[in-house]
Amino acid sequence: MTDAAELRRRTADLLAAHPPTRLPPPPQNEGPAGPPLWSATERLDFLRARFDAGLAWVHFPEGLGGLGAPRALQAVVDAELEDAGAPGNDPGRIGIGLGMAAPTILRFGTDEQKKRFLRPLWTGEEVWCQLFSEPGAGSDLAALATRAVREEGGEDWVVDGQKVWTSSAHLARWAILIARTDPDVPKHRGMTYFICDMTDPGVEVRPLRQITGEAEFNEVFLTGVRIPDAHRLGEVGEGWKVAQTTLMNERVAIGGTRIPREGGMIGVAATAWRERPELRTHDLHQRLLNLWVDAEVARLTGERLRQQLSPTLNSVRAGGAPMGQPGPEGSGMKLAFARLAQEISGWEVEFLAEDGLTYDDWTLRRPDGVDFTGRQAGYRYLRAKGNSIEGGTSEVLLNIVAERVLGLPPEPRTDKDVAWKDLPR
């Protein structure tokens, strides 16, 4: 089984074959034979080489950007490459592809789909978005009404409907899409999961302006969009099963991102405290200490969760999932992330007084992603309000934790066995 030493060796080989930084030339007639060290590898070429070497996500199978190694060992590779000045793949821009589309394609995709989509997804050549929520189906995703109808005797599905709150739709080349294919069965059983080409005729993306002034979210209208059956993920009618993989990974991606000690928003707040001694009060100090401890607990819990997601060699050899699949515990991580982001940003605005109320550039922009640490306090405070909605509302996640982690009795569900077409809307 691949261990840390083997990963360091492979990373060193990658850096030797594809030097990522521009180094000064050696003195004349000196230096090793082969390509000159000062000929740095272009960013995209380096990322492609890293993927092909199995160092993109080491827990994925060989040939698909990984080596079948434990997920926790990814930190070994990342540290070595960071020290060498290697370029990254801009995860803030392609986070939906990395955290949601990729694990779903890996688990349910065909061999052809995996080979076609995973490499350009990881290198950032193709951006992905997620066409799940609808105006009438947000927290209750299974109530969605977007229809996909199979052409009689054909290989295409024709999709009509509307999606909303779609991050990065204005940048995306591809989308993961869930649509209703059978209205005659209960809502959780009549859906199918697809890969949608966002450049196809019939796909219209409109911006949704947010409280921050920006429009990273969008609404997407689908009118007669044709999707080949070869772009279906999973079996017909089993879209909810496939979507569960996406949703569980989404919550880990949002709430379980690896950060250093005192990283993220708590680091910004602690820095503000150190730099502005004239604003300090005893009450604000006690609240900051409590938030710092909560943030550290959440960080360490996330690290433990990532270790639990690491596969065993036996499960890979036996044909099991080559990566651990997140369970309901990820909902708890996302809950903690949303609460902390809102409480820390609220503390920061209060601490900075009038300096915390405003931020520059309140204009309609279409950003590539969300920047919680590089913007001003007022932006962080407003943007954090969305954390308890996106990726599953906190109310829904509390139910998941209560029922699937704590084993409490489920809430009554009167629509469980009713055909979707008969549900009131």
Active site residue ranges: 250
- Angle separating helix axes 282-308 and 329-352, nearest 10 degrees: 160
CA–CA dist 207, 187 (Å, integer): 29
Cα separation, 209 vs 218, whole angstroms:
8
Q: Calculate the alpha carbon distances from 61 to 56, 57, 311, 381 in Å.
A: 11, 9, 11, 40
Q: How many CB atoms are located within 10 Å of the residue 250 CB?
A: 25
Cα separation, 161 vs 146, whole angstroms: 4
Rounded to the nearest 10 degrees, how much is the dihedral formed by the CA atoms of 273, 210, 170, 86? 0
In angstroms and rounded to an integer, the radius of gyration of the C-alpha atoms of the chain is 23
From 317, 289, 355, 352, select the one nearest 62 (Cα to Cα): 317
E strand or H helix that includes residue 207: strand 203-208
Residue 215's identity, in one-letter code, is: A
Q: Residues 6 or more apart from 104 whose CB is under 8 A from it?
A: 176, 193, 233, 242, 245, 246, 249
Where is 176: in which H helix or E strand? strand 174-180
Say if CB 318 and CB 363 are below 8 A apart: no
Please give the helix or strand (H or E) that residue 356 lies within, else none.
none
Burial of 399 by CB count in 10 Å (0-12 exposed, 13-18 middle, 19+ buried)?
Answer: middle
